[in-house]
Amino acid sequence: MGKLQQGTTAFRKANLALFAGGFVTFSILYDVQPLMPIFSKEFGVRAATGSLTLSVTTFTLAIFMLVTSSFSEAWGRKIIMAASLILSSLIVIVTAFSPDFGSLLAFRVLQGVVLAGLPAIAMAYLGEEVEPNSLGVAMGLYISGNSIGGMAGRIITGSVTDFFSWRIAMGSIGVISLLLSIWFWLNLPESRNFKPKPLNLKGLFVSLFRHLRDPALLCLFGIAFILMGSFVTLFNYIGFQLLEPPYQLSQTIIGWIFIVYLTGTFSSTWMGRLSDSLGRRKVLWIGLLIMLFGAVLTLGEPLVLKIFGIAAFTFGFFGSHSIASSWVGQRAKTEKAQASSLYLFFYYSGSSIAGAAGGFFWAQYGWAGVIGFIIILLLCAFPLSVKLSSASVSSNAIRVKNK
């Protein structure tokens, strides 16, 4: 069957639908991040416990992304993506009525399970339905929906909470998401190049374990854990500090700080091009050093310096993530989708585990403790990148010898 081409109505509808899908997924996933200090105060829990509202979601998302793509191979792409978005939107609305913290966590666990339906499948849909010369534009718009959704979810919840309450803020996200999800369902073109396959979970796990035996891929998975763990830790606890003296910022202002995400739109493209001339490892080091520089700057007391540090940290994160994630596709010679799923599994596991662990350092040592924890994590990424390069060289030498 013919594939979607740039300039056609079907191509435009597919792109706008997937932009909306990415927006919904990541606004729902991260809408709790600016609310963590509110949860700690209202439910009487520690900062680390409050951060579980994000950690439990990203952890279940990471696990179920490994298997959701296999279900779509048998049942179809659009039906699972649409069901994922609509159910996720309804869960957000129900979550707004949580009577206690335990209920809130339970709904967020379920949220992670259901949300896994779109990220695991959207790229497969684009690869099947969009012709190669138009794929770059389509993929770029989908990823833009991800980043803008993550930013908007944080800003909307922060602002609405200031004027009303966190429950109304979360309910608002749910209603907006539900409308966009229905629009997604009605406008995304049906798959024309999808061919159902028998469900084969055994084959999936065999391929996953095969990738886990590759030393270079293991290094990339470790780097993914460190990058996202550091990033989420910083943003989980910066709100706690900015609510305290001498800043005492409002939830609205704290929510708008997430606009620094826009720096990642530039850095991911710029560092990707830079890697073509300097090599991936050197550019990855540059990204990590920028993250370290930004993290250290946030230790300064002036608010302007702190925000500049957050922006630099974000710039380095998105650039480093773009290098590491593209390296996975280059390294995995077979079953690339499974390799990418494993990368995302470790990526979101870092968000869950390190993001929650950062609460201990906040409680014991304040902001300096959080930044110290982040610095330790980032320093661990350098030896992994060295090991990654040596493993890649060794592997290439073996391939040449076997030819």
- The fold of 1-189 is Growth Hormone; Chain: A; (1.20.1250)
CATH 1.20.1250.20 domain extents, the chain? 1-189, 200-403
- The fold of 200-403 is Growth Hormone; Chain: A; (1.20.1250)
**pLDDT value at position 259?**
87
Two structure tokens written together for 260: 């620094």
* Lookup result for tokens 């803020």: 169
Cα–Cα distance measured from residue 24 to residue 17, given in angstroms and rounded to the nearest whole number: 11
The type of residue at 96 is A
What is the separation, in whole angstroms, between the first and last Cα of the chain?
37
* Lookup result for tokens 């959207």: 122
Cα–Cα distance measured from residue 183 to residue 20, given in angstroms and rounded to the nearest whole number: 8
Residues with Cβ < 8 Å from 227, sequence gap 6 or more?
317, 320, 321, 324, 347, 350, 381
Two structure tokens written together for 59: 């952890």
With contact defined as beta carbons under 8 Å apart, do 315 and 337 qualify? no
DSSP string, 208-244: HHHHHT-HHHHHHHHHHHHHHHHHHHHHHHHHHHHHS
pLDDT digits (tens), the chain, 403 positions? 578 888 888 889 998 998 899 899 999 999 999 999 999 999 999 999 999 999 999 999 988 888 887 777 777 788 889 999 999 999 999 999 999 999 999 999 999 999 988 887 787 787 778 887 777 667 667 777 877 888 888 899 989 998 899 999 999 999 999 999 999 999 998 888 777 777 767 776 777 778 888 999 999 999 999 999 999 999 999 999 998 889 999 888 888 888 888 887 778 778 877 877 788 889 999 999 999 999 999 999 999 999 999 999 999 998 888 888 878 867 777 666 677 778 888 998 999 999 989 999 999 999 999 999 999 999 999 999 888 877 665 454 444 344 4
In three-state secondary structure terms, 4 is strand
